[in-house]
Each structure stands twice: as structure tokens, then as C-alpha cells.
Structure 1
Amino acid sequence: MNEDFYELLGVSRDASADDIKRAYRKAARKLHPDVNPSEDAADQMKKVSQAYETLSNPEKRRMYDMGGGTGGFGGFGGGGASFDFSDIFDMFTGGQGRAQGPIPRQRRGNDILRRVAVSLDDIVFGSEAEVDFRTAVACTRCSGSCCEPGTSPSRCSTCSGTGHVQRVTQSLLGQMVQMAPCSVCHGHGDVIENPCTECSGHGRVQQKRTITVTIPSGLENGTRIQLRGEGEVGEAAGPSGDLFVEIAIEDHDTFHRDGTNLIARITVSMVAAALGTTITLPTFDGDKEVQIRPGTQPGEIITLDGFGITQFRSDKRGDIHLDVDVEIPTKLSREQQDLLRQFADARDEPDVAEAPRNAANEPRTAGRKSRFSKLRDRLRDL
């Protein structure tokens, strides 16, 4: 009694050709003798293969659906079998059942990653930096041929230049032929009898290189710049990999970065804050005069527009934000104390020395958010 081919493959009668092929592959993985050596599996494998042979052929499938199909299970033979036996073989050989020709000696080189330290000044306006590294470069003696000058590779006699040899194994399915890389030429199809004495037959040597890298303005810390083709040269002078330069921005003594803005803290005396003054601030554009208006309060922000970091791929610049810190003297002479008391009396203020201590007068404790972190938060809320 003939079995239903669709049921054998576990597909519906309107299954597509791709569905049928997937179902056959799935079944073959379970029933192939190399996986399941039982006799029942071998018999079932023959049935599944016959079903696939019929349903994968549009004409045979049409005749089968009309009731005049090719019933019975005649094994893998059968005149005019339409399925490719290598499909199932490739599942167990990783696709190595058929040779793809000699393996090229040339291979792409590896990518290289190098870190370069740059100053904040370099990021403000953009700059250049030199990167030193050792890498593989093409051998100048053999020009990447891997052979001594005046010689050339010879055809491998073992594989006749194909790079592969046949291996025949026996299974319940009969003889199976597997193509494997030639062990003599390692799949290249030719043999280097006189390797280059400079590169030992690799077509590349190690050498120190120095490359000048353009550092665009506005880059963030950790940004990687890709330089195509500046990496390691491949075997047999194959295509070069890429060079990746990672930017490490050094800390600055005065400024902290916040995007394209620069933050700095300036300290003025309480008298200067009360009466107003002018200070000189060193910036990346030179010294700038900063006006401290009378009555400036601690924590007040003074902004210098357009003196920050130049945006990436733009001429627009950020700003400088100055956080004003008013310095309170910690040691006063008796004369200075008397003057301050006279000032307090003139303003009808209580004697500071007699004021009780409270939470507002307590010294700052450790563990609080840093001053610059709080300043960034304030600036973003503006």
C-alpha cells in the first residue's frame, strides 16, 4: 500500500516548493544513517526521499495529485530523479561535498585599534595627531608573491591544481564522495618550493608605521575614527584591514566639558562680589576680560557666548559658563572684624559673631554630588 507523500514529509497539499525542501531536510537530519543507523530509519529514509523526489518535481507532483503519480519506493534511483543528492550530503559535510576551486593565498588583513590622547584644545578647534604602531606590510623583496625573486609557485601534483582531493566513504546509502582540501598544497592548488627569505613565504613583514590623523573638532571622548585600508596587510599581500583610532581626551586644569559648552569655576572675594570687579580669564581664544557685576551672588552663572567647543562638522561653537564662587575670609584681624561689625551695624544686621550655629552654618559633608555635576544640572534646567 502506497503512503501519502505529503504525510510522509509532514506538509500540507498546498505546500510551496521551499516548504517541501525544508521538510525533507528536517526529516533527513533525523533519518540519515550517519545519525540513525537503525534499519527502520534506513527504510523510512528511502520513503522520504522518494516522496521528495516526486513532490519537488512540478510535473511529477501534478501527476501524483491527479492520482497517476509514481507510487512505490524504489530507493534513490528511479529514472530521471529530479532532486539533487548533494543536498542531503551537504547537510552532513557542511557544504564541502563539492569543491569550490583552489583557495586563494591572499586574505584580507586584520583591523587595528590604537588609542591617541588629545588635549581639550585639540577638540575645541580640531587638530592633527601622529599614531605610531607596528603592523604587517607587503614584503618588498617578493612584492607579495611569497616566492624568492625569479621563482614562482608550481602546480600541485597531488590535486592537479584543484586544491581539493576526493575521499570515498561507505554508508547505507552507498558510496559517498567528499571533497576535502589537499593536504600537500593546503587547498591552494600550487606549492611554493622556494619561499621568500625575507617574509618566509607569507608575502608580508612586520614594520613600524607612523600615520598623521586628522582630529575633527567636537569629538566625544571614546570616539573612533576609521581609516580604511590603513590596517594590517593580509597574507600574500592581500587587502589591508582598517585602522581605528580611539580618541582619549585629557583632563583640563581649568575647564570641564559639557557637550559643546565649557564649564569653569572662578573665585572672587566677598568685597569684589559686593562692589563688582573685572577679572582676566585665560580661554582657548586668548585672555578675556570678565565683568563681575556689583552684588554678584555665590553660584551665579556668567556666560561667554561662542567661546566653547566648535561643533562636529559645523562652524557653530558652544559657550563658556563660569560658576562664581565667593570667597569668605577665614581669618580676620581685630581691625577687620571691627570694620565688618560697623558695616553690619550700618545695615542693621545682627552681630555675626553672636549668631547661633544652625544647619546652614554647618560645614559641608563628604559624599555630596560634585559642584560641577550640580552645575551641569542647573544649566540644563535653564
Structure 2
Amino acid sequence: MSKRDYYEVLGVQRNASEADIKKAYRRLAMKYHPDRNPNDKDSEQRFKEINEANEVLSDPKKRSAYDQFGHAGVGGAGGFGGPGDFGGAGSFSDIFGDVFGDIFGARGGGRRSNRGADLRYDLALTLEEAVAGKDVKIRIPTLVDCQFCGGSGAKPGTKPKTCPTCSGSGQVRMQQGFFSIQQTCPQCRGTGQIVVEPCTHCHGAGRVEERKTLSVKVPAGVDTGDRIRLAGEGERGEQGGPAGDLYVQIAVKDHPIFTRDGNDLYCEVPIGFATAALGGELEVPTLHGKVMLKIPHGTQTGKLFRVRGKGVKSVRSSGVGDLLCRVVVETPVNLTDRQKELLQEFDETMLAGGERHSPNSSSWLDGVKTFFEKMGF
């Protein structure tokens, strides 16, 4: 039985954000968790399916592989065991606590620290660079602690004050009927402190934008759509939170000679009329040097010749693709009078030979003749 699309399992679009995927997973996990549906095999199976989808789509690397290659790209995902083993999903109370921990604030009730946002950098490479791999220096904008206020956001010589609303806890408690709900303090936004006199350099943000240079090692064989993850090189987190990641998105430029398809390279090779008829050898380029291509006599336009091992080495395995050369017979142009005479003489000898010299043309003409007779033309 084929697996369902992971996005369909979670009920989200393919461009869904990490937050959307997390929200959809929690909602479905609570609904189908075995603790809430005892002895219900359908719910148990659905719960496993939901966890498998979340395991892939919540991981940037696995999600990227799944988007490119489908289930084949994440063959190791979804290793669930028997009843009670749900890929580390935890009990219903764990999920319940995780969901309401986000709604009511951190489980420990302390100040909130936010992870920095992930960043994306588009890196354009030539085909030669993508095939060979290279080390690239990139400059990206980033947020760093303000050197004037030390990241506090307060004017030098002053300090942030304890938030009067939450008394520095970052959380406030609200009574709604029988329930007491704890949520992030609206005045200090969970920091526990407020800036009375903002720093004039960062305007109270505590962070300023700078540009930094990073070294990116591009592995050999990358292609358009591949991503390289630089952990911790994304946006700096607020209130001491961890930094996000930087994803370098690869885009390979068009090449004047070669077209890439997976690990294979394609190119068109124009040949003269005489070479196509009599045969011969041609020197063709590859990304690794020159090779001689043998053209047999009687070669027709569109004939594909394979040069093994002259394609691209896969970035995910040790396999190497091939170079495929498509022959295009070029019709002579700008002929002299003498060349025209020679071609006319040659054509007369060809007509005398009939089908022996032009089997495809003769077969086509026979078919046309039969068609005309059938239609009464």
C-alpha cells in the first residue's frame, strides 16, 4: 500500500511554515493519541502516520529531501514499532503540556527567550563550480548585540527596570471562572524588564544590524534547489535565545554548451553532411577535458551518443553520470556555383539508387501514396 503525501496527512500546504506544521501536528496528535482512543486500531494507525509525517516535515533537511524526491528521499523516516512505540511522541499528557505551554507561557513559568529566525542566502554558481565544488565567501546581514548598551536596550548609564505588571516574572495570571490561566506579560513581552530610557543607537532593541563574512564549503555535485545549512548563523535570538540557522540555497546558471539532467549532461553536436554520410571522428568537450566521438557512416539527425563517466558525480552517492551527445546534421549554406553543380549531380545519382540510398524517404513516400489512394485524391 503506497504512503500518503505527508502534507496531506497533516492537512497543510506544501509552502506551510514550521509554525503551521507544528500547530497542525499537535492538533491531530491530541485528537488521535491512543490515550484518548483506547483499543481503536484506526486511531492508532493514524497517530503513527501523523508522527511519521511530522518527523520529516519538522526537520529542514528531511523536508528538503522529501520535497525533491518524495518518500524515496527519506527512506529512513517513520521507523515506528509496535503498540506503545510511537517514534518518541510521548504520552497524551506530554502533548497536552506542550500545547498549553505555548498558550500559557513557558512550562517553568520563567522569562521567555526567543530563538532567532532562520535566514536564507541565494548562491548562484556556474555549472563548472557546481560540479567541482568550491569554497565560497559570502557576506550576509546579521543582528548583533548593540555595543553601546551591551544588548540591554537601555541608554548607557541606565538599566532596564523590573516590569511592574508581572514583577519581573515575565508571566501574568488571569482568572477565568474556575480556571487560572498564565500567559506572557503584555507590557514586557515576557522579558520581565522594561526599558524606560532607550539606547539612542539601537532605539531600545538591544540589537543592531551588521554584515559578516562566512565561508561556505559547497560539495561537488550540487544542483539547483539544494540547500546547505549553517547551524547558528541565522538571526541572533532575543533575550539570550539561541541563534537561528542560515540556509544557503543553490541556483546553477544556464550553460552555453551543456544541459544538466540529474547526474547526466546533454549537448548538441552539429556535424557536416559528408561526416554524417561517410562517418568520421569529432572532438567534443566535456567538463573534464576533450574526448573523441566516433560517428558511424549513415548517421541521422537526432542520434544520441553516450560517453560514459563524463557527467556529474552525485552529491549523495559515489555514482557518476554520463555525457549524452545529440547529433544534428547541418545543411550547407552559402554554396558556390560549383558546389551547387556537384550537389545536383550527387542528387541525380541518389535518385537512381532509390530506396537503397534513402530507405526512410522511400518508405514515407510509399505511405503517402497509399494514403492518397485510400482517400481518393
TM interval, shorter chain, is: 0.5 to 0.7
* 1:120 to partner: Cα distance: 1.0
Contact 2:103 2:183 in 1 (8 A): no
1:281 aligns with 2:288: no
Name the structure 1 match of 2:111. 103
Q: 1:201 to 1:102 in 2, by over 3 A?
A: farther
Instruction: Tell me, in whole angstroms, the C-alpha distance in 2 between the residues paired with 1:284 and 1:143.
Output: 52
Instruction: Tell me, in whole angstroms, the C-alpha distance in 2 between the residues paired with 1:182 and 1:216.
Output: 47
| Equivalent in 337, 347, 353 of residue 349 of structure 1 | 353
Name the structure 2 match of 1:329. 332
- SS of 2:239's partner is helix
Aligned residues with identical type, % of pairs: 36
Q: Structure 1: which amino acid aligns with 2:216?
A: V
Q: Structure 1: which amino acid aligns with 2:121?
A: R
CA-to-partner distance for each residue in 1:144-201, whole Å, 9 max, x for gaps? 34455676544445543333455567x6x7xx76556555544433344555444334
Which structure has more helix as a fraction of its residues? 2
Instruction: Tell me, in whole angstroms, the C-alpha distance in 1 between the residues paired with 2:343 and 2:165.
Output: 103
Larger deviation: 152-161 or 284-293? 152-161
Contact 1:99 1:179 in 2 (8 A): no
* 1:112 to partner: Cα distance: 1.1
Aligned length: 267
Larger deviation: 110-119 or 212-221? 212-221
* 1:261 to partner: Cα distance: 0.8
Q: 1:179 to 1:360 in 2, by over 3 A?
A: same
1:112 aligns with 2:115: no
* 1:305 to partner: Cα distance: 1.6
TM-score, length-scaled by structure 2: 0.58
| Equivalent in 206, 210, 215 of residue 212 of structure 1 | 215
TM-score, length-scaled by structure 1: 0.57
* 1:293 to partner: Cα distance: 3.3
| Equivalent in 311, 315, 319 of residue 316 of structure 1 | 319
Contact 2:104 2:184 in 1 (8 A): no
Unaligned runs of 5+ in 1: 1-15, 20-86, 351-356, 362-382
Instruction: Tell me, in whole angstroms, the C-alpha distance in 2 between the residues paired with 1:300 and 1:107.
Output: 60
Instruction: Tell me, in whole angstroms, the C-alpha distance in 2 between the residues paired with 1:346 and 1:311.
Output: 51
Instruction: Tell me, in whole angstroms, the C-alpha distance in 1 between the residues paired with 2:246 and 2:239.
Output: 19
- Structure 2 matches for 1:1-382, cutoff 5 A? 96=104, 101-104=109-112, 106-147=113-154, 152-165=159-172, 179=182, 181-182=184-185, 184-193=187-196, 195-330=198-333, 332-344=335-347, 348-349=352-353
- SS of 1:340's partner is helix
Q: Structure 2: which amino acid aligns with 1:126?
A: G
* 1:141 to partner: Cα distance: 4.0
Contact 1:137 1:237 in 2 (8 A): no
* 1:230 to partner: Cα distance: 1.0
Instruction: Tell me, in whole angstroms, the C-alpha distance in 2 between the residues paired with 1:97 and 1:279.
Output: 72
Q: 1:360 to 1:190 in 2, by over 3 A?
A: same
Instruction: Tell me, in whole angstroms, the C-alpha distance in 2 between the residues paired with 1:338 and 1:158.
Output: 101
Contact 2:191 2:239 in 1 (8 A): no
Contact 1:137 1:207 in 2 (8 A): yes
CA-to-partner distance for each residue in 1:203-238, whole Å, 9 max, x for gaps? 321112332322223323222222211111122353
* 1:265 to partner: Cα distance: 0.6
Contact 2:111 2:171 in 1 (8 A): no
Q: 1:190 to 1:286 in 2, by over 3 A?
A: same
Name the structure 2 match of 1:369. none
Q: Structure 1: which amino acid aligns with 2:353?
A: E
**RMSD between superposed Cα atoms in Å:** 4.0
* 1:281 to partner: Cα distance: 2.3
Unaligned runs of 5+ in 2: 1-33, 38-95, 355-360, 366-377
Q: 1:184 to 1:358 in 2, by over 3 A?
A: same
Structure exhibiting the larger radius of gyration computed from Cα positions: 1
